[in-house]
Structure 1
Amino acid sequence: MDIIYLHDLKIECIIGIWEWERRIKQTIILDLDMAADIRRAAATDKIEDTLNYKAVSKRLGEFVGNSQFQLVETLAEKVAEILLAEFKLAWVRVRVNKKGAVRGATDVGVIIERGKA
């Protein structure tokens, strides 16, 4: 299996359960690992034959930027659903990092892996 990855994608959004979190945008960081067969793209050297990670970044930037979820768990599931459905991926690993969410911890978040049945 080949993996195309997009790490450290920073997006501002409203996320959180506390009242103050519902009033401000916070930065979340996405790390995405996406299963893709890159052999055709390697042979043709054409972007049309591979996963366009710029398109992924744009789509998720729009979606996440306009979202208002309470939980990072929900955000991770929705991101995985978009990747699997719209980009026709067989498998994804999504890491959502909400830096500074817990005092004393550098990183807090979830990692999920999802695939088509």
Structure 2
Amino acid sequence: MADSVLIEGLEVETVVGVYDWERRVDQRLLVDLEMAWDNQLPGRTDDVSDALDYAAVSERVVACLRELKPQLLERGAEVLAGDLQEVFGISWLRLTLRKPGAVPAAQSVGVRIERGQR
């Protein structure tokens, strides 16, 4: 199956980082997701109950990262990927987690992981 559902540029305000000052403020993270999902059935039925609910996925991403407050982006990505796969039954995903402004000379820094089987 090559079908996917995408969420790109989802903004999450949360505590993230290893320095003392970072643990006292919210910072912006950007999340991109590509999730394997068979879109044939919802494509035929036009019924939202047959589709992956990207609004629910987005809400789960925000809640997970706000609760987790990771020190490292790697930790945030791993926990988030596992949570999404478990809760929504996603067999494979590619997740990019970016932290804009973390390095002054770069637009953003981040990590990208793939988990599961396509």
TM-score (norm 2): 0.95
3-state SS of 2:95 partner: strand
Matched with 2:77 is 76
Matched with 1:97 is 98
3-state SS of 2:108 partner: coil
1:9 matched to 2:10: yes
Flag as ranges the 4+ runs of structure 1 deviating above 4 A: none
Structure-2 separation of matches of 1:32 and 1:46: 22
> How much does 1:78 deviate?
0.8
Letter in 1 for 2:62: G
- Once the two structures are superposed, residues 6-53 of structure 1 have per-residue CA deviations (whole angstroms, 9 ceiling, x without a partner) of 000001000001111000000000000000000000111011111000
> How much does 1:67 deviate?
2.1
> How much does 1:97 deviate?
0.4
Structure-1 separation of matches of 2:24 and 2:55: 29
- Aligned-residue sequence identity (percent) comes to 39
Alignment of structure 1 residues 35-74 onto 2, 5 Å = 35-74=36-75
Unaligned runs of 5+ in 1: none
TM-score (norm 1): 0.96
Unaligned runs of 5+ in 2: none
- Once the two structures are superposed, residues 62-90 of structure 1 have per-residue CA deviations (whole angstroms, 9 ceiling, x without a partner) of 11122211000000001110111111011
Matched with 2:87 is 86
